[in-house]
Amino acid sequence: MLEAIERVLLQEEPDWVLVYGDTDSTLAGALAAVKLHIPVAHVEAGLHSFNRRMPEEINRVLTDHASDLLFAPTETAVHNLLREGIPSNKIYLVGDVMYDAALYYAEKAERQSQILTRLGLRPKGYILATLHRAENTDDATRLRVILEAFAKVHREVPVVFPVHPRTRKRVEALGLASLLNGVLAIEPVGYLDMVMLEKNARLIATDSGGVQKEAYFYRVPCLTLREETEWVELVRMGWNRLCASMDSFEISQQMLEQWVGEEDNPYGLGNAGRLIAERLISTTRGN
């Protein structure tokens, strides 16, 4: 991946390399640019779970320290970067680009997506579940407990579970495929269908960082199936609850609870993309 990105950068000769998030490609893009002396800007900088067992956490930290501009989505992310010794003149609080996307695509999903009709779902009449992180899928006991919890809940409220390919592979390898029969297990869906499922769910149970935020954007309570989250604001506000239980009954009971959190505006005004573009342009021009 690193060599392939280097070839593209040598061919295109960009003024900046813009990397997003915490994937392996994020870090590879940053490293390739640094080696070629091209400035790097990191979108979603400063987010930390403080769990170094997560590969995403390593990617975040290394990318932050390799970057020339750090676009932080929240005040918490800014404080994390300052505590790590990153100069304040490199850090810009811009809000979250995912909020930009959520605002733009919510109405589009309402107009175009037919997934609720296709699956026979009523708004606020089902729970949406996603699962893909290694801490849940690579631990056979943990994976079994979570799937058992989904099946328990499905007896009372439909559980819609778009199954990530990696998760399905692990389920089958561990002999747990029969547990998928206890829920509405479907193939992964496109973005607009996912937005429609998220905004109309009664509750979302997930281990995805992005889905946690999208749940809040649509004001849907979220049960995060992890010990920690990068989005501590959502826990503080009461929209997000952490659940790392190894008991299927406890997980299922939390999934069946209903709650709302406090209203706040921790992720900006939906104009993060414009602020990032303006900063990149002004910095390129030497302002």
- The reply to whether 132 belongs to the active site is yes
One-letter amino acid of 208: S
Q: Which of 42, 65, 132, 164 is catalytic?
A: 132
Q: What amino acid positions are annotated as catalytic residues? A: 132
